[in-house]
Structure 1
Amino acid sequence: MINSALEIRHLKTLLALAETGSVSQAARRVFLTQSALSHQLKQLEEHYGLALFERKTQPLRFTLAGERLLALARELVGKVAAAERDLARLRQGEAGELRVAVECHTCFDWLMPAMDAFRQHWPAVELDIVSGFHADPVGLLLTRRADLAIVSEAEAQPGIVHQPLFAYEMVGIAARDHPLAERRNWSAADFAGETLISYPVPDDMLDLMRKVLAPAGVNPARRTSELTIAIIQLVASRRGVAALPFWAVKPYLERGYVVARPIGAAGLKSELYAALRENDAQSAYMQDFLATVRETSFATLPGLSVL
């Protein structure tokens, strides 16, 4: 039997590096310190006598040797996960119900691919989205009208647990010929004389208002729309400015419809969590759904970071 230095934990580390593009972010994905992850990679490189990725590149770039091990990781880690799901079905059963409630208008961009992948893992689990936008999705959990809620804050409530999904950057967007397009980043004061175009939700559900504008005492004029594309069109027509997730506006930036700028010197970070009833949190299919959301989101959405 061939003795190998490779372990499953090494392959998971390589996948995390590929998905996040950063040693520090990958370390958080696999629950290691950055120094521990770097030491793990150094051991592999010393064993094989080859560099696995190029240092000081952003995002991180794999060498040919690293790409070969990454290909192995993508094949093998998936097979291990499938075997573990099979064992979970034998232990807990294959059927169940998972009704998802959301409070964000842009959730569907990443939620639908995750749901498609999950259906292949658990075909006997009845998976559904609770229709409509919900200002209090956790309330649906407590009244058993939903089984999982996607929320932007992990507010402590009896009987409810929160699992982190991912963080992302909110960017300010303006028309290409708008005066704010000339600025490198925007401050709260830049919104004071503008019309803010947003989704029709309370201010405490808008991170721009809650984290940036309200603390600065800025309350701009408002206009609302239910649809992301409608917000983009209004901004492009100089009807106002907006703040949207970078991954949601990236296709429109590439087409030149609008421009995007960071909000604040360090950027405006938003977070997403899954809220679940405490008694359901350890369900095998529930945990696999959360893992699937993270995996598909990091693989397909730009600019995500680990919570």
Structure 2
Amino acid sequence: MHPLLELRHLRTVEALVDSGGVSRAAERLFLTQSALSHQLKQLEDHFGLALFERKSQPLKLTPAGQRLLTLAQEVLPRVQDACRDLAKLRDGAAGSLRVAVECHTCFDWLMPAMDEYRPRWPEVELDIVSGFHADPVGLLHRDDADLAVVSERDEDEAVHYFPLFRYEIVALLANGHPLADKPCLDASDFASETLISYPVPDDMLDLIRQVLRPAGIQPKQRRSSELTVAILQLVASRRGIAALPAWAVATYLERGYLAARPITARRLYGELYAAVRPNRATLAYIEDFVATVRATCAASLPGIVLL
């Protein structure tokens, strides 16, 4: 039998299993859904076997699909290790990687990504720049950080941006709140409410920057907390409403702890990027850190879309 199999086919099978569906797998692989479906059909036609049970949600493997998944799990990590070793020979295996963040929820996904990355690059000095930073890019220019996680690209800054992921920001309400009867919240709905948020400048809050300020709306009152769980408790206790990433509150919503609604009919989205100085953008250990963040987030954060 002619070996049709290529690494891209194994990555497709693995992505379909990890994401549970064609749409998210295509986003993860930077393919259109039709291109991914065509690739899957090509494999099935070649072997004369179905790889997934049709109309199963999430996708369920057939024995043939399970065999290819096993192969992918054996081969792809070895290929990645080999590529990483070659990059280390080219660029060296040691360096400094001090990470600065401007978002409070970043630590929820940053720590697992760092745990995944650390064994692969044991000689890299991996660290988090302590504290919350309103201007993490400034730390790059002062050489106080090597990588900054930011929510906006500033083309005037002399830095290189690696795209990470896009996520929806939802309005959070106490169960039984009158606004929970609406299919979505508009800017005007926040005018008579207490807005609970992280203690950051308004320019760093997507709700303010993208929705309320353009509409000329100010919340009736403001309240802040450093902790996500504290914000959720205040919302559930009817002390106000909030706007947070959907992935960060998914477990609370599944338990019915509080209610969530889209913000505007178009929905509100945020984006995250990794910024580095241009002369460090091609370093292997930095490129691999970004790849690790994207992969771990795609596998663990519900509803995000890789950029």
Q: Same fold (TM over 0.5)?
A: yes
What corresponds to 1:130 in structure 2? 129
* 1:141 correspondence with 2:140: yes
What corresponds to 1:268 in structure 2? 268
**In structure 1, what is the Cα distance between the partners aligned to 2:27 and 2:141?**
31
What corresponds to 1:172 in structure 2? 171
CA contact 1:185–1:261 (8 Å) conserved in 2: yes
Q: Which moved more, 1:256-265 or 1:219-228?
A: 256-265
Q: Which moved more, 1:156-165 or 1:61-70?
A: 61-70
* TM-fit CA distance, 1:52: 2.9
Change (3 A) 1:67 1:179: farther
CA contact 1:197–1:224 (8 Å) conserved in 2: yes
Change (3 A) 1:55 1:289: same
Matched residue SS, 1:120: coil
What corresponds to 2:61 in structure 1? 63
**In structure 1, what is the Cα distance between the partners aligned to 2:18 and 2:218?**
38
What corresponds to 2:47 in structure 1? 48
Q: Which moved more, 1:146-155 or 1:204-213?
A: 204-213
**In structure 2, what is the Cα distance between the partners aligned to 1:13 and 1:266?**
31
Change (3 A) 1:155 1:55: farther
Q: What amino acid does structure 2 have at the position aligned with 1:86?
A: D
CA contact 2:22–2:36 (8 Å) conserved in 1: yes
* TM-fit CA distance, 1:56: 6.1
**In structure 2, what is the Cα distance between the partners aligned to 1:278 and 1:142?**
11
Q: What amino acid does structure 2 have at the position aligned with 1:173?
A: L
Query: Percent identity over the alignment?
Result: 65
Matched residue SS, 2:34: helix
Structure 1 unaligned residues grouped into runs of 5+: none
* TM-fit CA distance, 1:76: 1.8
Within-5 A mapping of 1:294-305: 294-305=294-305
* TM-fit CA distance, 1:16: 2.9
Q: What amino acid does structure 2 have at the position aligned with 1:304?
A: I
CA contact 2:28–2:306 (8 Å) conserved in 1: yes
* TM-fit CA distance, 1:51: 2.9
What corresponds to 2:111 in structure 1? 112
What corresponds to 1:233 in structure 2? 233
CA RMSD of aligned residues (A): 1.8
Q: How many residues align?
A: 305
What corresponds to 2:11 in structure 1? 12
**In structure 2, what is the Cα distance between the partners aligned to 1:187 and 1:278?**
40
CA deviation string 1:161-214 (max 9, x = no partner)? 101111111111111121122222222222121111000111111111111111
CA contact 1:103–1:150 (8 Å) conserved in 2: yes
What corresponds to 1:196 in structure 2? 195
**In structure 1, what is the Cα distance between the partners aligned to 2:142 and 2:51?**
51
What corresponds to 2:247 in structure 1? 247
CA contact 1:20–1:305 (8 Å) conserved in 2: no
Matched residue SS, 1:121: coil
* TM-fit CA distance, 1:33: 3.7
TM-score scaled by length of structure 1: 0.93
CA contact 2:104–2:226 (8 Å) conserved in 1: yes
**In structure 1, what is the Cα distance between the partners aligned to 2:212 and 2:58?**
34
